[in-house]
Chains A and B, each alone.
Chain A
Amino acid sequence: MTSLQILWFLLIGVLFSGFFFLEGFDFGIGMAVRFFGKNSAERDVIIQTIGPHWDGNEVWLITAGGAMFASFPMWYASLFSGYYLVLFLILVALIFRGVSFEFRANMKTATWRNFWEWAATLGSFCAAFLFGMMFTSMIEGVPMDAKGNIFGSFTTYVNWFSLVGGVAVSLMCFIHGLNFLQLKTLGTLRDRAQARNKLLYPVLIVGEVLFVVLLYISTDFFAQKPATTWSILIVLVLLTLIAWWGVLKAHNWTAFIASGLSLISVVVLIFNGLFPRVMIATNSAHSILIKDASSSPYTLHLMTIIAFSVLPIVLVYFIWSYWVFYKRLKSPKAA
């Protein structure tokens, strides 16, 4: 394993972290359209909070996918072909939610507005749920041949652990989205989002405990890396508690950052557990290792230069665009 390979393993982790932090609240806001917004005017404001941003946030996923292809083609090929139907459903969900904001705003009848609102909500929920399910089932280990082809059965993808993982991730995204809503709105929306999250955090804590128990049973994380796994889990629970505190005390920034970081800590948990593998096979001899999965040193070197020269520029205007829209939106007046 070379240092470049490790660097790119970390960078893929960073890109997925960025994706879950940013698209996490996008998904949450999408779910909030129907699960939280009470009427059309409220839903307008909810959608407007991410209006200028959701598209840029989704690019983190595209970049993560592209970077995985470029730096670890064997990983990309196994994962994407092995999770064919799961990814297909994710794509369908992303399509529905992606066009829903634009289409909804231009529908004339209530029926069609409802249709695209539900497309936003269910699309966001399904995307978050399926991503959670995919990554959870991936760390359980999957049946793979020596070439890295996954031949899974239904229960490879759908089992108690992966279902809990899916629910947990979608719940975390929903909560994260409501924290974002508190940060970006004034008035009733902000107050109600706070009230809702006060109730949701205890549920999330129960979910996290259940997740840890199943993680212990279903993966080799605790056997392979007890110290780091426990540390990350403690950080995850601490961040959840901090975010809860932030919600209770109406510290919007604290709550938002903490819920975002708790999503990132899940990514860290997964990447820490994977290392030095990228895919875990049920027959451990077939697991794909970082050292075997990567591109050539030439390509990794090239990608490193490009990433470190382009990414800082991207971050400057990306963050600037958030600064431009750093304003709270008013809740609509009660009808």
Chain B
Amino acid sequence: MLNAGLTVLGLSRFQFAMTTVFHFFFVPFSIGLAFVVAVMETMYVFNKDEAYKKMAQFWGKMFLYSFAVGVVTGIIQEFQFGMNWSEYSRFMGDIFGAPLAIEALAAFFMESTFIGLWMFTWERFKPGIHALFIWLVALGSSLSAVWILAANSFMQNPVGFAINKSTGRVVMTSFSAVVTNPQLWLELPHVLMGAGITASFVVAGCSAWRLLKKDHESFYRKSLNVALVIGLIASLGSIASGDFQTRYLINQQPMKFAAMEGLYKDSTNKGEWAIYSSFNTKQHKTTSSLDVPYVLNILSYHKLSGTVKGQNTVNKELHATYDKKFGKDMNYYVPTKTLFWSFRIMAVSGGLFALIAIVGLFFNRKKSQAIMKQRWFLYIMGLMLWLPFIVNTAGWFVTEFGRYPWVVYGLLTIADAVSPTSTVGSLLFTNIVYFLLFAGLGLVMIVLSHRVLKAGPDAVDMNGYSAEDTNGKVEDPYGTEAFNHD
């Protein structure tokens, strides 16, 4: 009962998934790239090496595109809680609105103001001060992650609340509990590390394509180094934080965990971990699987023994706990195939990112020309720039599908959250328009980034963000020489 198809619920869910996934292509890319660019500019401040300044400007240009699309798709996120999920908004407003408002107040203002300053003041402030601007942008975007994930964490693991007896709505009783939600502090590092991976592997991938063409060797090799160092740290951090998060789920959201591991029955003490499984989701059965012993226990408990509850067991437990409130007909099984494969995409990619970063750094060491000779490796790295986007999406699939049937875990079902005023017709219309719009925006993004890449680092002259004036000559619109007050 996934409410697929042309129902208000199905279309509302599709819309939320589509807008969020599209938005989240740009969010981690922007957060990570702000950080990567900040590192590059800081290296310029300390080394006085113009190459790093050029690097910050060159990759900064891609950051600006991504940021622009991130901003405009972000407004959809904020509005659609009220537009499509008004019952959710009424139920959750007391808790959910606060982090959202704080996010805007404490993070978005900082991000957007300092991005404006950063874009237009390359020649006006001392390099150290100018670098501070991009650090503040990076800080602002990370802060926004803190607050939006605080909101999401409450949906995963509600804390610091009570139910108002007369209205049946959630009320906040402890803000400190909401912001110290363990879910948040496990989710946040994983998201930030994922952002680091996204940006660094896109930079690395783009550099690899240019190196294959033997273009600006020194520039792209330096870029590659910065990217892969950050990429290595981020991928190791991502694996570690992912491990913490997964093990946290065993007790917190056992259904999600069981589905990630493709377990319907409880696991045996041997801890077989499935590399591959096929499922009969209707009959709640694993039809075949390729297992490796002990790995499940190592992943789950960091030891060889132990058992993990399967979905069938968890289903019974959930019925025992929630039948009074939600009725006997509730389906607690989550989309097993989606979770199982999404989790595997994440786990395998995490390792792959770390591996590629290590090998890349080795090939790219200063005195060696190895990286230029290992063309196969450059091809792999070039292709891998798309992978982080898939992996980020997979991560949210696990997190969000795995919470089914609830929108707020244990408190509110997805079906009860939708706007009663929505109609199939209007949702169909908006879904189609959004889809076309996103396809168009995505295409322009790719075309523009590709164009920047093709034009090369020498073409970027970042006095203003509109670098190419119609006359071909670029003039800093806010440079002192441009002004003479009459």
Pick out which of these stretches binds chain B: A79-87, A174-182, A216-224, A227-235: A79-87
Q: B97, B477, B485: which contacts A66 (Cβ < 8 A)? A: B97
Whether A74 sits at the interface, judged by CB under 8 Å, is yes
Residues of B within 8 A of A48 (CB): 464, 466, 477
**B421, A149: Cβ atoms closer than 8 Å:** yes
Q: B94, B108, B120: which contacts A62 (Cβ < 8 A)? A: B108
**A51, B464: Cβ atoms closer than 8 Å:** yes
- The CA of A146 and the CA of B119, in the complex, are separated in Å by 50
Residues of B within 8 A of A199 (CB): none
With A70-B101, A106-B448 already in contact, the answer to whether A99 and B89 are too (CB < 8 A) is: no
Residues of A within 8 A of B114 (CB): 317, 321
- The CA of A321 and the CA of B124, in the complex, are separated in Å by 13
Residues of A within 8 A of B64 (CB): 102
Closest A residue to B477 by CB, please name it: A48
**A99, B97: Cβ atoms closer than 8 Å:** no
Whether A311 sits at the interface, judged by CB under 8 Å, is yes
Whether A61 sits at the interface, judged by CB under 8 Å, is yes
**A299, B477: Cβ atoms closer than 8 Å:** no
Q: How far is the CB of A255 from chain B (nearest CB, A)?
A: 17
- The CA of A177 and the CA of B104, in the complex, are separated in Å by 25
Residues of A within 8 A of B101 (CB): 63, 66-67, 69-71, 303, 306
Closest B residue to A306 by CB, please name it: B102
Per-residue CB contact flags for chain A residues 55-75 toward chain B (1 = under 8 Å, else 0) read 110110111011111111110
Pick out which of these stretches binds chain B: A158-166, A266-274, A324-332: A324-332
Residues of B within 8 A of A330 (CB): 482-484
Whether A280 sits at the interface, judged by CB under 8 Å, is no
Whether A201 sits at the interface, judged by CB under 8 Å, is no
Whether B187 sits at the interface, judged by CB under 8 Å, is no
Closest A residue to B418 by CB, please name it: A81
Residues of A within 8 A of B117 (CB): 52, 321, 324
With A92-B433, A102-B65, A105-B467 already in contact, the answer to whether A82 and B97 are too (CB < 8 A) is: no
Q: How far is the CB of A132 from chain B (nearest CB, A)?
A: 18
Interface residues on A, range: 35 or more
Q: A73, A91, A318: which contacts B75 (Cβ < 8 A)? A: A91
- Considering only residues 100-120 of chain B, those with a C-beta below 8 Å from chain A are 100-106, 108-110, 112-117, 119-120
Closest A residue to B448 by CB, please name it: A106
- The CA of A67 and the CA of B98, in the complex, are separated in Å by 7
Q: A63, A85, A302, A306: which contacts B109 (Cβ < 8 A)? A: A63
Q: A52, A63, A71, A150: which contacts B104 (Cβ < 8 A)? A: A63
Pick out which of these stretches binds chain B: A26-34, A37-45, A204-212, A239-247: A37-45
Whether A151 sits at the interface, judged by CB under 8 Å, is yes
- The CA of A87 and the CA of B106, in the complex, are separated in Å by 25
**B94, A95: Cβ atoms closer than 8 Å:** no
**B466, A73: Cβ atoms closer than 8 Å:** no
Residues of B within 8 A of A78 (CB): 86
- The CA of A85 and the CA of B84, in the complex, are separated in Å by 11
Q: A44, A69, A77, A302: which contacts B466 (Cβ < 8 A)? A: A44
Q: How far is the CB of A103 from chain B (nearest CB, A)?
A: 6
Interface residues on B, range: 35 or more
Q: A84, A92, A98: which contacts B422 (Cβ < 8 A)? A: A84
Residues of B within 8 A of A68 (CB): 97
Residues of A within 8 A of B78 (CB): 62, 65-66, 69
With A80-B83, A92-B433, A314-B105 already in contact, the answer to whether A98 and B426 are too (CB < 8 A) is: no
Whether A94 sits at the interface, judged by CB under 8 Å, is yes
**B79, A91: Cβ atoms closer than 8 Å:** yes
**B103, A66: Cβ atoms closer than 8 Å:** yes
Residues of B within 8 A of A321 (CB): 113-114, 116-117
**A328, B120: Cβ atoms closer than 8 Å:** no
Whether B81 sits at the interface, judged by CB under 8 Å, is yes
Q: How far is the CB of A150 from chain B (nearest CB, A)?
A: 6
**A296, B105: Cβ atoms closer than 8 Å:** no
Whether A188 sits at the interface, judged by CB under 8 Å, is no
- The CA of A314 and the CA of B112, in the complex, are separated in Å by 11
Closest B residue to A296 by CB, please name it: B171
Query: 26 A-B residue contacts at CB 8 Å?
Result: A44-B470, A52-B119, A53-B116, A55-B115, A56-B116, A58-B75, A59-B108, A62-B74, A62-B104, A65-B78, A66-B97, A69-B82, A71-B101, A81-B89, A84-B83, A95-B437, A95-B441, A186-B484, A295-B171, A298-B171, A299-B94, A299-B95, A303-B98, A324-B124, A325-B116, A328-B485
3 A-B pairs with least C-beta separation:
A73-B93, A80-B82, A70-B97
13 extra interface residue pairs, beta carbon distance < 8 Å, beyond A48-B466, A62-B104, A67-B101: A62-B74, A66-B103, A67-B97, A69-B89, A70-B93, A95-B76, A106-B448, A149-B86, A295-B171, A299-B97, A324-B124, A325-B116, A328-B485
